[in-house]
Amino acid sequence: ETGVTQSPTHLIKTRGQQVTLRCSSQSGHNTVSWYQQALGQGPQFIFQYYREEENGRGNFPPRFSGLQFPNYSSELNVNALELDDSALYLCASSLDDTQYFGPGTRLTVL
Amino acid sequence: QQQVKQSPQSLIVQKGGISIINCAYENTAFDYFPWYQQFPGKGPALLIAIRPDVSEKKEGRFTISFNKSAKQFSLHIMDSQPGDSATYFCAASGAGNMLTFGGGTRLMVKP
């Protein structure tokens, strides 16, 4: 176990809705990264937060946004859901090079 | 272009054999190369990682070989076991530690 938890485990939404996914990092880890993993593919970097500020962003549109809180928790928000947003969403916390991944949230958009 | 290419996509190995997975990268700014193992329904778990200042790193049955001039690195799993059956991802990152993953290799170890 990595000590990184995510909720919910599974989620079903319809196109156009909004969703919030949550992550609880390991205590003391000041960096959290979010990744999208489509079925049968490698994870793709969405963005990273360091000490509650966005520190880097991958090739994802602005409707993907996030927050990091002082208690080592974070959120990924996705607005105007599209069918292609169906994927496993992973968060990873880190203090140095090593990123520790949570089990992910499986999002299905109908 | 920040891309990591991984091969093969799938691999079948007999128990006790050697599993070899290869990756190639393009961005010379990458300086950290981890390998992750993922079981169905789980998040990726770090297996082993290497930096470009060494050409090989071994941890137990897992070895990374790194060729900086060719911009390639590989994972060797010695004495492969059925419990090693999983999907393996190579990854790379530079400053900021934002991982770029390969496409994954689905390994099956037959008893």
Encode pLDDT of A24-79 as tens digits.
998 888 899 999 999 999 999 999 999 999 999 999 999 999 999 988 899 999 99
Helix (H, G, I), strand (E, B) or coil at A24: strand
Q: Kindly report the CA angle at A43 between A23 and A57, in degrees rounded to 5?
A: 70
Question: Using CB atoms, which residue from A43, A48, A98 is nearest to B101?
Answer: A43
Confidence of residue B11 (pLDDT cuts 50, 70, 90): very high
Closest chain A C-alpha to B22 CA, distance in angstroms: 15
Contact yes or no for B34 and A98 at CB 8 A? yes
pLDDT in tens, B44-75: 999 999 999 999 999 999 999 999 999 999 99
d(CA B107, CA B74): 14
Of A45, A56, A103, the CB nearest to B42: A103
Give the integer Cα–Cα distance in Å for B65 and A79. Answer: 42
* B43: nearest CB among A55, A56, A102: A102
pLDDT at A3: 87
Q: What is the pLDDT of residue A96?
A: 84
A9–chain B Cβ distance below 8 A for any pair: no
Q: Which of B80, B60, B78 is nearest to B14 (CA)?
A: B80
Percent of chain B with pLDDT over 90: 92
Nearest CB to B101; choose among A42, A55, A56: A42
Residues in A closer than 8 angstroms to B101, CB to CB, are 35, 42-44
Helix (H, G, I), strand (E, B) or coil at A80: coil
Q: Which two tokens stand for residue A55?
A: 């520190």
Query: In the numeric block, which tokens belong to residue B97?
Result: 């530690």
pLDDT at A95 > cutoff 90: no
* Contact yes or no for B102 and A42 at CB 8 A: yes
Taking the Cβ of residue A102 and every Cβ of chain B, the question of whether any pair is shorter than 8 Å is answered with yes
Question: Is the separation of the CB atoms in A68 and A32 below 8 Å?
Answer: yes
C-beta separation of A21 from A109 below 8 A = no
Report residue A97 as tokens.
């090079």
**B1 pLDDT above the threshold of 70:** no
What is the chain A residue with the closest CA to B6? Answer: A42
